[in-house]
Chain A
Amino acid sequence: MKKRIATVSLAGCFGCHMSLLDIDERLLDLLELVEFDRSPLNDLKRFTGPCDIGLVEGGCCNEENVHTLHEFRANCDILVAVGQCAVMGGLPVMRNAIMHAEDPLRECLETAYLDSDYVLNPTNSIPNDPALPLLLDKVYTLADVVKVDYQIPGCPPSGETLWHTLDALIAGRQDRLPYELIKYD
């Protein structure tokens, strides 16, 4: 039976998903082995059933991220944090550096939307549409919120790294990434 895979990008940039496409023609091999459930690759927005593997890109910066992550945890046997943002918070986590401020979230929003020299905001307002998910007090990594089975480093992890990961998980192998794939300098 084909393994079922779900993927999602939370507070990420979709770079990790782009990197997945870098496995090139092996995408065809992959499709022989797996079936994609919820994923931006097929634009499925809801789980259709339990999955074997969930790949999550990005950390959690808002309530929707947390909600989605909980759904992934509940529906996927193996949950993989893919890329720097999912593992350590990545670029978004830089806002945690102002946590020591009196009112950190307000300061963050005001800098981003009002005060910065590089902002053009004629209405001088911070976006607050009811449809916008509420921000969390700080950015959380996946492991802060749920139990994570594997963490794949890289910004983004190379196509080769993701292929190696998927190949091992699909075959049910306990594996380590070879040194060459996680050496960045």
Chain B
Amino acid sequence: MAICERFGNDRTRLLDILLEVQAQFRFVGPSLMECIARQISTYRVEVEGMVSFYAFFSDTPRGQVVIRLCDDIIDRHAGTGEIARVFSRILGIGFGDTSPDGHFTLEYTPCIGMSDQAPAALLNERVVTCLTPERAEEIALGLMGGLNPGELELPEGDGNNLNPLIGSTVRNNIRLRGEVLLGEVPADAGLRKTLRRPPDQVMEDVERAGLLGLGGAGFPTGHKWRMAADTPAERRIVICNADEGEPGTFKDRVLLTERADLMIEGMTIAAYAIKADGGIIYLRGEYAYLRNYLEAVLQRRRDQGLLGAGADRLGGFDIRIQMGAGAYICGEESALISSCEGLRGEPKNRPPYPVESGYLGYPTIVGNVETFCCAARILDRGAAWFRSWGTKASPGTKLLSVSGDCERPGVYELPFGVSVRELLDLAGAPDAAAVQVGGASGQMINMSQFDRRICQEDLPTGGSVMVFSARRNILEIVEYFLDFFIEESCGYCTPCRVGNVFLKQRIGKIRQGLCQPEDLDYLRELGRTVAETSRCGLGHTSPNPVLSSIANFPLVYAALLKENRNGREASFNIQSALEESRHLAKRRSMIYDPTYDGD
């Protein structure tokens, strides 16, 4: 098979191989699995495991055009339901189905990073945003009329989205530019200064700047670099995590579009500091429309002698793009590394940490897009300059992705320490009643907490800020987040695989008014168990929406709970439990049908 050969029949590139096979054949069926396995000298089950793990792969044929409608909570509030009905009606298929002629597949997908222009959808790799029923109808009719997604007439995007290599309808919606990232950024100034200094001093600068990982976990970046540099090894690897999957986050998309050079500059600086020769940008599958542009930027930098064989000061450091294939869990660094190695995106056991033994066993630093951008700026302007913004524990500025019930959704670059209220004022959200800070795995706060500050000391976030007005149903939101985690759990450890289902079931029962006050104890205890005993960050944080909404919106719960006086569970209904049996036995119940006369 030519595709396997193109990747050198390399088992560790299985993800790339499968992406191409899926694109070419539109499915990876049993015979293809067999064939790939033989060619890359592995077992069929390894290939099948990959196909079943990643959402973008299918073992049955999918349509030539796969329409993935974003089903995030923000999109739902913006009217996904109506859009879904339009697509379904015109294409004549339901969600999860492929049309009999093999032209179309219709499905839902979690957040595709377009919450500020919801509802949005992916038509193969093409993104369409701000959908209205009318536009959805136009698109669906266009596709039915035989147009490719690329040929559809759609409104243009803004900024670099107009670049012919991107050519996207996406809008950046940059609402506020700060000085660190979205203001004027001189090209490669940080890198030039870096190359004049020994690697040790470079790391020292990042350490002194107090830069924390900006993807959400907030680990000190300089320390991470130092640990990787201190681990003796033949090779070291720098990975940029552009798998921006946290619902409601889209700031990395804007950086990838507008600050790609800065991000790659930051990666190059990191490579110089830790003496890495290999780099990977792990780009989420949903952002595939940015791939050609990023490849072109990489190539230009190679031509400029800033990457690859020509970059002798950098030991030939080069970067490849690894496309993801639709798995939220791959945003977790050890799962991301598994994915780059051609494995299922399952987290690895730690220790050893990636800085000791990461990609293919080499010391690896994994950093967020924004983190690398900041590192490049720090090397240009110095630690003190960077520390002039933000708080003691969270220096610098932060890109915040604001979405939901506000007038000006989009990206705001603000110093750490900004209060939620200030942000809401900027975004125009006078009737905000609840704010989810930090995405699905973050905290839901109420109005009395809007003076809390966004920073490591108070409310940490990877950038997602979802605003909900009083019209929204808090428990619907919580239940949606649990659905999301159930779908995205890799299934490896029981607390996460099973615990999240139990949490959701109980929230569902509460919503139906079938629960008692003690059920909150159950949720708290189960939530704690899931958080404490899960294997990776997904399970550590998945109970957060439940726990924080119980703590911050007690009245919402109280209104739905009923004291149970007779000791019977309200959710158990003997009449419906007997219905099938009555029908099969063709008789009524001696106990529960009062008029029973022994017929």
Contacts and interface: CB of A to CB of B under 8 A. Distances in A.
Nearest to A106: B584
B592 A147 contact: no
Given A64-B591, A74-B566, A146-B569, A137 B581 contact: yes
Interface in B570-599: 571-572, 574, 576-582, 584-587, 589-592, 598
A176 B580 CA distance: 40
Contacts of A104: 580
A83 to B, nearest CB: 20
Interface in B163-197: none
Contacts of A35: none
Given A63-B578, A63-B592, A133-B591, A146 B584 contact: no
B512 interface: no
A134 B567 contact: no
Nearest to A127: B585
Interface in A74-92: 74, 79
Contacts of A131: 590
A161 B576 CA distance: 37
Contacts of B568: 70, 73, 145-147
Contact of B581 (A136, A146, A147): A136
Contact of B564 (A134, A145, A147): A147
Contacts of A135: 581
A147 B572 CA distance: 11
B567 A73 contact: yes
A147 B567 contact: yes
A71 to B, nearest CB: 11
A123 interface: no
B584 A105 contact: yes
A163 interface: no
Nearest to A76: B567
Contacts of B518: 147
Contacts, number: 70
Contacts of B516: 147
Contacts of A109: 584
Contacts of A103: 580
Interface size class of A (residues with CB under 8 A): 20 to 34
B567 A130 contact: no
Contacts of A73: 566-568
A136 B577 contact: yes
B572 A137 contact: no
A128 interface: yes
A64 B591 CA distance: 8
B565 to A, nearest CB: 10
Given A140-B577, A145-B569, A147-B567, A67 B591 contact: yes
Contacts of B571: 144
A128 B585 contact: yes
A155 interface: no
A130 B569 contact: no
Interface size class of B (residues with CB under 8 A): 20 to 34
Given A106-B584, A130-B590, A134-B589, A144 B578 contact: no
Contact of A137 (B579, B587, B591): B579
Contacts of B591: 63-64, 67, 133
Interface string A44-87: 00000000000000000001101100100110000100000000
A143 interface: yes
A183 to B, nearest CB: 17
A104 B589 CA distance: 20
A89 B591 CA distance: 23
Nearest to B579: A137
Given A63-B591, A130-B587, A147-B564, A105 B569 contact: no
Contacts of B579: 137
A74 B518 CA distance: 19
A79 B578 CA distance: 25
Nearest to A143: B569
A134 B566 contact: no
B390 to A, nearest CB: 47
Interface in A140-177: 140, 143-147
Interface string A111-145: 00000000000000000101101111110100111
B576 A137 contact: yes
Contacts of B580: 103-106, 137
Contacts of A67: 591-592
A57 B195 CA distance: 74
A74 B567 CA distance: 8
B566 to A, nearest CB: 7
A78 B587 CA distance: 35
A134 B585 contact: yes
A106 B382 CA distance: 74
A175 B568 CA distance: 25
B7 to A, nearest CB: 39
Nearest to B577: A136
Given A67-B591, A74-B567, A134 B582 contact: yes
Given A105-B581, A128-B585, A147-B564, 9 more contacts: A66-B574, A74-B567, A79-B567, A106-B580, A134-B589, A136-B581, A137-B581, A146-B568, A146-B569
Q: Which 5 A-B pairs have the closest CB atoms?
A: A134-B581, A73-B567, A136-B577, A147-B567, A145-B572
23 contacts: A66-B574, A66-B577, A67-B591, A67-B592, A73-B567, A73-B568, A74-B566, A105-B580, A105-B581, A109-B584, A128-B587, A130-B598, A134-B589, A135-B581, A137-B577, A137-B579, A140-B572, A143-B569, A145-B568, A145-B572, A147-B516, A147-B518, A147-B568
